[in-house]
Structure 1
């Protein structure tokens, strides 16, 4: 019997036509002017002959807004408050409503990273990317994002909970879902730039959902100059520590490698207190890179001050990997090492990751319905705490783990 579509390595092979439910939506152009774009099925219901554009927009907005009922508050941050909600005509159908806070200090009254999140969630539709169901405004002119309800919390909470036992088949299933999500966003020329295990949420059916697109941006133009001060430190690739400003999907792939390694060893794979310490820890595992094994590294802006005078260091042996992550076997270790190649040119891309022999090696991925998961109010609260964060914002208790900065002057 074949794998289920949710667990097959390539449900929609790269280069094939995407299924209808994964088609890109039209950009939410009206969001910049605080107008709501309802689903196509609602447009006709809101249309009234002879009405003005402004009046029609308001009527359409009300049609969308009136479908949902606000419930209890799940989390509140600087830029947003998250509520549990449900459909008015079916209270059993739950949603998460993210109310974006308006601030006159921001252009159009809304934070730049909130605009990023709305833009990319409106364009990206995939079973393993959080689903933006609807957008509407309220009388106080706050924008509200209606997102799918993901009651089983963050992936990080799951692997950190030692009371939850899991094995290699579970790690393979989770890893495959993550790789599918990243392949899809890269196929659509979108970089996430903040993939980490607490930005991956778990749905009621145990599906993983990539969330928090506040730092996302397009990489359709390979010549574009981008900031290197992105991605949470624990998941940031070496080229960004060294100041690279031209990059593509390789930066997300490194982060995916770190997440899979966390699942395999149930701890942060690279842990540090400073950027320099983190780069040293990466070199402790993979060796100090040189021009011979990473052509062009000496041209990166921070090479001289960070690595030029570092003593030579050899990569750790295979026995080290086997001891640290026995759950995924040699095939899984080979995948992780491919995702964590120091030279970004030699790093696997998302398509190559899905074609890796790890997926067909024993054991088979766990069936989704049999995957272990957390649940209850604590897990739902964790969802709210995650969704409230936008861009550089993070909970105080997690600030020691984050080292990202943003240039708010442009969507770089």
Structure 2
């Protein structure tokens, strides 16, 4: 990393407020003092000695490497990387909210054109990733950010990997359980972009139902919930199923007709959902097949980005909100009271 660039970057970003804390990082809202853009800064927490290489968490290194090599309108942009001997900070686009909050906001009415737009943006980003041989491996509503203009961006590449080598083995312990495909529960270690497509199917279902479709409490419970709705997979449809190391025979379930589950969905949308929920990963739709499906060619068409309804807070100017709070607390708004982001 260029030490001169690091020194320049240190004073560039003006901390506005703390946005949240995860298992491995703190996230801050900041202002880029050069172009006045709002940015999100992800401050990576270092793990144990065995998890750290050259002072940086391996997961963070993978995320940085991937994000530096990809560029797409529907994928979060890594604007800057600021290193220090004790931490590393990723400067990214600031996005006002995420799809999980949109789904959970009871005041929001999601119409079919809104859902079609969101699904379209997610699939465009995912098609780009898969065309560059990248698996995301953790697609879910709160990893789909959306800004005040309705632009959706895939984020959180901590579990992402390059794929394509026929003999490459991967861990099956990826993807949040509610969005994980059956083959991973059965211990599959050689897989492709089809695992992300299953997650997309779960996201589409959640947009329609406004609640997760398969909210399992354990691995076995998750499979039980999947089979209850989709039916038990048949050997003639998925012949390699029994060869997976964790395969166990399940109680036969007939499943439920999807038009009974998604009562507002058109036939074209039902066909798309079915294509994402094919048990055999080799027959599951690809991102390109999803985008070429009749669903995106039929009415009602996708709305424009800025027509997607968002939670009220997503339309608030965070700088104005902070400024009002400062005045309420009798704190000056001039530069003397603003704190630069500390890089130590």
Superposition TM-score, scaled by structure 2 size:
0.87
Q: CA deviation at 1:346?
A: 1.1
CA distance in 1, matches of 2:181, 2:302: 28
CA distance in 1, matches of 2:306, 2:233: 43
CA distance in 1, matches of 2:205, 2:239: 26
Q: 1:350 aligns with which of 276, 282, 287?
A: 287
SS in 2 for 1:279: helix
Q: CA deviation at 1:79?
A: 2.5
2:26 aligned residue: 81
Task: Give the number of aligned pairs.
Answer: 316
Whether contact under 8 Å (1:191, 1:249) holds in the other structure is: yes
Q: Does structure 1 residue 252 correspond to structure 2 residue 196?
A: yes
Q: 1:316 aligns with which of 256, 259, 262?
A: 256
SS in 1 for 2:159: coil
SS in 2 for 1:292: coil
CA distance in 2, matches of 1:286, 1:324: 10
Superposition TM-score, scaled by structure 1 size:
0.73
CA distance in 1, matches of 2:55, 2:140: 29
Alpha-carbon displacement from aligned partner over 1:20-62 (angstroms, at most 9, x marks no partner): xxxxxxxxxxxxxxx2xxxxxxxxxxxxxxxxxxxxx221222
Q: Does structure 1 residue 65 correspond to structure 2 residue 10?
A: yes
Q: CA deviation at 1:347?
A: 0.4
CA distance in 2, matches of 1:375, 1:194: 27
2:311 aligned residue: 374
Q: 1:325 aligns with which of 262, 265, 272?
A: 262
**Where does 1:43-54 land on structure 2 (aligned, <5 Å)?**
none
* Deviating more after overlay: 95-104 vs 161-170: 95-104
CA distance in 1, matches of 2:223, 2:23: 31
Q: CA deviation at 1:290?
A: 2.9
Q: Does structure 1 residue 212 correspond to structure 2 residue 156?
A: yes
Whether contact under 8 Å (2:148, 2:314) holds in the other structure is: no
Q: CA deviation at 1:65?
A: 3.3
Q: Does structure 1 residue 118 correspond to structure 2 residue 64?
A: yes
2:342 aligned residue: none
| Cα distance change of structure 1 residues 379 and 241 upon mapping to structure 2, 3 Å threshold | farther
Q: CA deviation at 1:353?
A: 0.7
Moved runs in structure 1, 4+ residues, more than 6 A? 377-381
CA distance in 1, matches of 2:156, 2:216: 23
CA distance in 1, matches of 2:191, 2:119: 23
Alpha-carbon displacement from aligned partner over 1:313-346 (angstroms, at most 9, x marks no partner): 32322xxx22332343111111011011011111
Q: Does structure 1 residue 167 correspond to structure 2 residue 111?
A: yes
CA distance in 2, matches of 1:133, 1:122: 9
Q: Does structure 1 residue 143 correspond to structure 2 residue 83?
A: no
Q: Does structure 1 residue 130 correspond to structure 2 residue 76?
A: yes
